[in-house]
Amino acid sequence: MLRDASSPVVVIGAKGQMGARFVRAFRDAGHPVTEFDHPLDQGALPQAVRQAGLVLLCVPITAMREVVKVVAPHLTEETILADICSVKVQPLHEMLDATTTPVVGTHPLFGPQTLDAELRIAVTPGRGREATDNLSNCFRNLGFAPFTTTADEHDRAMAYIQGLNFVTTVAYLCASPLETGIERFFTPSFGRRVEAATKMITEDASLFSTMFEANPHSLEAVRMFRSYLNVAAGGDLELLSQKALWWWRKQHDAGGPAS
């Protein structure tokens, strides 16, 4: 467990942008950190894992199963195994299935360079309530804002916040026929939408596609969206506008994005 700031931490995937951010955060708080990346150093990894209070997997979901398989034999009853994948049901299942030791799922709801926002982290219990509380307290000490949820609740939300956002963006752009010279008619609002989608399309498309495929609620979200497109196709935009306004006001009252 992470008893205090002297507890050793192992970060696997330390050269990735999020992995590097957590390495810095742990070191700034005083934790000794051992870094691993692909290819894993099979000679040094077993001892580092056995001595660690936390092993944090900052690897893509496509690599989770193989990395967990390598790490699992060296975990002790005092070592927390955690991940930072953007979906939680699948990686949590893979960690629990391969171990008998403490497991916690996490998802940082911010990017590697985010500074001027509340740095929230979704924490999903896996095995051991003490481990969940321990890791949450550690994140608070690092300056993050953890909150506890379930893996299923998390993935259902991410199916809309990440998955459906990606799907509707790429579908929207595909429906915009640039070959007809539509760019001559760009308005500032359309330009802002295209600009907001730039990184998603040009750099992160494969990442979003992988997350979409791994999230058990993705298709449910798409079907829901399609049902509202059918309402629009029937011409009842007033109904959609009123429902969207209701949603916006509800988020505002809850302190959501409109506040």
Q: Please, is 116 exposed, middle or buried when counting C-beta atoms within 10 Å of its C-beta (0-12, 13-18, 19+)?
A: exposed
User: In this predicted structure, what is the pLDDT of residue 154?
Assistant: 98
- What are the tens digits of pLDDT across the range 32-69? 999 999 999 999 999 999 999 999 999 999 999 999 99
**118 Rama sector, left if φ>0, alpha if ψ -120 to 50, beta otherwise:** beta
Q: Model's pTM, two decimal places? A: 0.90
- Give yes or no for a contact between 96 and 15, defined as CB atoms under 8 angstroms apart: no
Distance CA 197, CA 200 (A): 5
> Per-residue confidence at 177, pLDDT binned at 50, 70, 90?
confident
User: In this predicted structure, what is the pLDDT of residue 257?
Assistant: 54
- What are the tens digits of pLDDT across the range 128-174? 999 999 999 999 999 999 999 999 999 999 999 999 999 999 998 88
Tokens of 154: 């998390």
pLDDT at 255 over 80: no
Distance CA 219, CA 102 (A): 32
Please provide residue 42's backbone torsions phi and psi, each rounded to the nearest 5 degrees: -70, -20
Helical residues (DSSP H) of the chain, grouped into ranges: 17-28, 45-51, 61-71, 89-98, 129-141, 151-158, 165-174, 188-202, 205-214, 218-233, 237-253
Q: Tell me what the pLDDT averaged over the chain comes to.
A: 93
Rounded percentage of the chain residues whose pLDDT exceeds 70: 97
pLDDT at 203 over 50: yes
Pick the closest to residue 143 from 249, 39, 22 (CA basis).
22
